Amino acid sequence: MGGVVKRAFKYRFYPTPGQAEQLIRTFGCVRLVYNRALDARTRVWADEGRASTYVQTSAWLTEWKRSEDLAFLNEVSSVPLQQALRHLQAAFVAFWDKRARYPRFKSKRRSRASAEYTRSAFRWRDGQLTLAKMDQPLNIVWCRTLPEGAEPSTVTVSCDAAGRWFVSLLIEDPTVKPLPAVDARVGVDVGLTSLVTLSTGEKVTNPRHERADRRKLAKAQRELARKDRASNNRAKARLKVAAIHARLTDRRRDHLHKLTTRLVRENQTVVIEDLSVRHMLRNHHLARAISDAAWSELRRMLEYKAAWYGRSLIAIDRWHPSSKTCSACGRINSAMPLSVRSWTCTGCAATHDRDVNAARNILAAGLVDR
C-alpha cells in the first residue's frame, strides 16, 4: 500500500429547522438531476445510438437551470448537483466494464437521501463545518476525534429512513499504516449457524440480529399497515419501523467491524470463497438468514482493511469443493448434503467437522492459487 489512506469519518448531527429544510430541498434536487440525466442519456442512446459524457450532462444541467420549470435548482448549492452527475458517470463506467447493472432511477422513498459537497462548497474552520447556502455551522456530535491537522476534502450529508442525520468527512488519515508482518494465515468459511468458521477450528456464532427483533419488527409493521396512507400516524409508524431496521443495521455493522478487524490484525493472509450472494438470495427459504448474515459486507470490510494494513486477501473459486473434500487425504466425496454436519472419510478414516474441514480446504486452495 502506497501513499496516505483516504478514510471517511461519519458523525451524527442535529440540524436547525432551516438547515433541515435546505438539506431536504438539496436532496430532492440531487435526485431530480440524477434521474433527468439518466433519462436523457438513455434516450440519446436509444434514438441516436451514441453514449453521452459527463461534460454533456453538465451542459444539460446549465440549460435546465435556465428554464422556468426548473429554476428552483438555483436555490441550492450547485456542487451536489454536479457531484450527482459524476456519480451517474461512474455508474455508467461500472456498467460498461460489466461490474454492475444498468444505472437505475433514484426513488424518493427507497433511495438514500444524500448530497456530496467538495471543498468549494463548505468551510472548515477550527473544527466547525459550514455548508454552502447556510449561515451557521452544523451541530455535529464528535463521538471520536479526527486525526490531528485533518482537513476534509469531501463532505457527504445524509438522512436515513429513521430520520437520523449524518455527515461523513473524507480525509487523509496518516495513522493508517501497514501492520508488522506475522506468520499466521487463516481460511474463512461463512455460514448461518456460525457466522464464520476458521481453519484454526474456531467458530464465531452468528448473532442473528434480525431474529432477535423479529417479533418487535413484525408488530411495528402490522401497526404501520393499519394506518391510513395520508395520515400523520402513518408517518410516525413508518419512522418506528425504520428505527428498528436502523438499530439492526447498526448492531450488525458493529459486529462485522470487530470481527474483520481482528481477522486482519491477527493474520497475514486471509482466504475466503468468492460467493455469489445475489444468486444465493433467490433461495426463499434462506434469503432472510443470508441477508442478516451480511456476507457481502463482511467481504467488503476485509478487502479494504487488508489494503489498509498491508495484508493479503485471497478469494478462491466459488465452485471449489471445499465441503466435500477431505482436508487430510484430499479424497472428494460425490455428495455432501447440508444436513451432514460431521463425517468420516472413507479413504483415511479421519473424522471432520463439516465447517472446519471446509475452512481448512479454503486456506489450502488459496495458498496453492497464490
pLDDT in tens, 173-224: 888 899 999 999 999 999 988 999 999 999 999 998 888 888 999 999 999 9
168 closest CA partner among 115, 108, 126: 115
> Could you tell me the pTM of the whole model?
0.86
**Could you tell me which residues come within 8 angstroms of residue 53 by beta carbon, excluding any fewer than 6 positions away?**
89
The catalytic position among 116, 210, 273, 292 is: 273
Length of the chain: 370
Using one digit for the tens of pLDDT, what is the confidence trace for 77-133?
Answer: 999 999 999 999 999 999 999 989 999 999 988 888 999 999 999 999 988 999 999
The catalytic position among 116, 189, 210, 292 is: 189
Whether the CB-CB separation of 155 and 168 falls below 8 Å is answered with yes
Structural domains present in the chain: 5-173 (no CATH), 178-206+252-370 (3.30.420)
* 355 included as an active-site residue: yes
* 273 included as an active-site residue: yes
The catalytic position among 116, 210, 292, 355 is: 355
Radius of gyration of the chain from its Cα atoms, rounded to whole angstroms: 25
